[in-house]
Structure 1
Amino acid sequence: MSAKPFSFPIKVLPTDIDFMGHVNNARYLNWVQDTVLAHWRKLAPADEVASKAWVALKHEITYRKPAFLDDEVIAETVLEKIKGARSFYNTVIRRGEDVLAEVQSMWCCLDADSHRPARISREVAEKCFGIPRKASAAAE
């Protein structure tokens, strides 16, 4: 069981375009990061947002189709589970019905002051992100 999807609109900028005339592959990582952080800022309580930071631990990207300048792109992410200080996201980047990329990523939550790993409380996982008790049990 997973949380509700979070959608994040993406504007393809001229600086995103590479020598081949489409969005550079590395830019997709920026989009995933922007989406995951926007998801956190939108749903987490303000005190949690202020006291936590995020770093990426792993990304696995499957590229399906290229994106181009002026495309209307949406990233849809789902926080699948929380395990200790780690959070596991699945993100799909689309242009209309076309899937451009599928990304599985793992993130580590850090204490903003000490930069040490910090767990997401079970209460925040359940109340804010819809992660069921069983999937978030390792969050505490």
Structure 2
Amino acid sequence: MSAAPTWDHPDPFTLPLRVDASCIDLMGHTNNVVYLKWLEDVAWAHSVALGLGPAQYAELGHGVVVRQHELTYLQATRLGEDLLLATWITGVDKLSLHRAFQFVRAADGATVFRGRTHYVCVDIEQGRVRRMPERFLQTYAPAVLKPA
């Protein structure tokens, strides 16, 4: 039986996922580093859904890279559990993009993880921080979480 999640913010972008054997560590739960991969997976899925995927980043010669992660592990996740990975864009400006994340176990609706990531825009070729291309701003700004 699935329980409806209580989201931290309205209208999340979600990505369903089942914890598989490659995620499990010696402790019998999902290894902490796997959550970083899941952050990347749901962020990319959301960006692609908005119209900016790896091909568009390459075409524009710009991308975003992590400046800072804030990760809070609330409950262990285990082999075979179904999760919903959720993300929201919480801010965007000429140099930065900010995301919030919440991962929920489908069976009981429990929040198992929360995170925040600050990304900065870089010139892909030079690897230097640069202003976001106008297309980034036009795509990401409308998706920013509206204040309650």
Common topology (TM > 0.5): yes
Say whether the 8 Å CA contact 1:80–1:131 is kept in structure 2. yes
Say whether the 8 Å CA contact 2:50–2:139 is kept in structure 1. no
Q: In the comparison of the two structures, how many residue pairs are matched? A: 131
Inter-CA distance 45–15: structure 2 relative to 1 (3 Å threshold): closer
In the other structure, the counterpart of 1:24 is 31
Q: Does 1:55 align with 2:65?
A: yes
SS at match of 2:17: strand
User: Aligned residues: percent identity?
Assistant: 24
Alignment of 1:32-111 (within 5 A): 32-45=39-52, 48-50=56-58, 51=60, 52-96=62-106, 97-111=109-123
Amino acid across the alignment from 1:55: V
RMSD: 2.6
- CA displacement 1:43-76 (0-9 Å, x = unmatched): 0356744323231111111111111111101110
Using the size of structure 1 for normalisation, the TM-score is: 0.79
Q: Does 1:131 align with 2:141?
A: no
Partners of 2:52 and 2:105 in 1: CA distance: 31
Structure 1, unmatched stretches of 5+, are 136-140
Using the size of structure 2 for normalisation, the TM-score is: 0.75
Partners of 1:18 and 1:95 in 2: CA distance: 18
